[in-house]
Amino acid sequence: MTSSVAAELVDLLRLERLEDNLFRGQSRDIGTKYVFGGQVLGQALSAAQQTLDPNRQVHSIHAYFLRAGDVEHPIVYDVDRSRDGNSFSVRRVTAIQHGKPIFVFASSFQEPEPGNEHQLSMPEVPRPEDIEPVAAPTPEQLAQLPPKAQRWLSRMGPFEIRPVYPRDELKPPKRPPFQQVWFKLNGEVGDSPVLHQALLAYASDFHLLGTATFPHGISYYQPNVQMASLDHAMWFHRPFRADDWLLYSIDSPSAQGARGLSRGQIYTRDGRLVASTAQEGLIRVLPDAPEAR
């Protein structure tokens, strides 16, 4: 059975078709200051998928976040059918809000075909069943945070998330820039690979950039820390289900110039590498920030 929040996410990814290549998606306020980057990724992929034969599966996406999205208004997705070849198709998508592009996205799709295979092994980590769910912040802890952060931390999201080595995001220690996180959709959905790919694109934005903050003992929840995704790349390797446990293994090789780079690999619980990600984002520590209210 699908939970109400998971069903709401599935509905969020089912866009309204305005014209052959024009779609409209609603926005959701999940407690982030602006539209969550994973929402735009998932909706843009959904828009591109609706212009294709479903037999052609996405294998890569590359995107840039241009402007912050407004959670109070819908987003229009304009799809350019750049190429349809014998084996591959390419789509470019522009997300528009208030008459301006806020996001650009390119994706490539391929007809299934056999070929050579290899993959890196999954890290040895405890099973998700052996990891305790993350405890909710206490009312006293929430009271120290801005209202948006309070909503984010107190809500029941569409994905269940179990970090292998949890970190206190309210008082973050300094740690090496590595983490592994188990996650799955809260409830079962149908068998459509297209839906599961859009759901994974949505979830891939969780935890990725945050890994670049680990060596510096800072967190998105601190009032003097400004963070925003600048770009996002993703490669889909093998079939998977977003409603079964997946392991997100993330590292950050570099941070410099108020930017951090993070990379991720996503595995099924039986060790199959199903997707890889990379993201660079803004990480700015502001002086003389006001106190959190």
What residues are labeled active site? 205, 229, 279
At residue 151, φ and ψ (nearest 5 deg) are -65, -40
- Exposure string over 186-216, b if 16+ CB within 10 A, otherwise e: bbebeeebbbbbbbbbbbbbbbbbbbbbbeb
- Are 266 and 273 spatial neighbours (Cβ–Cβ below 8 Å)? yes
In angstroms, rounded to a whole number, what is the distance separating the alpha carbons of residues 161 and 48? Answer: 28
Task: Tokens for 202, please give them.
Answer: 């949505």
In angstroms, rounded to a whole number, what is the distance separating the alpha carbons of residues 41 and 80? Answer: 16
Q: How many CB atoms lie within 10 A of CB 144?
A: 15
Q: Is the dihedral of CA 208, 181, 275, 240 positive or negative?
A: negative
- Are 248 and 78 spatial neighbours (Cβ–Cβ below 8 Å)? no
In angstroms, rounded to a whole number, what is the distance separating the alpha carbons of residues 182 and 132? Answer: 11
Instruction: Please report, to the nearest 10 degrees, the dihedral formed by the alpha carbons of residues 134, 140, 145, 149 taken in order.
Output: 40
Q: How many CB atoms lie within 10 A of CB 73?
A: 12
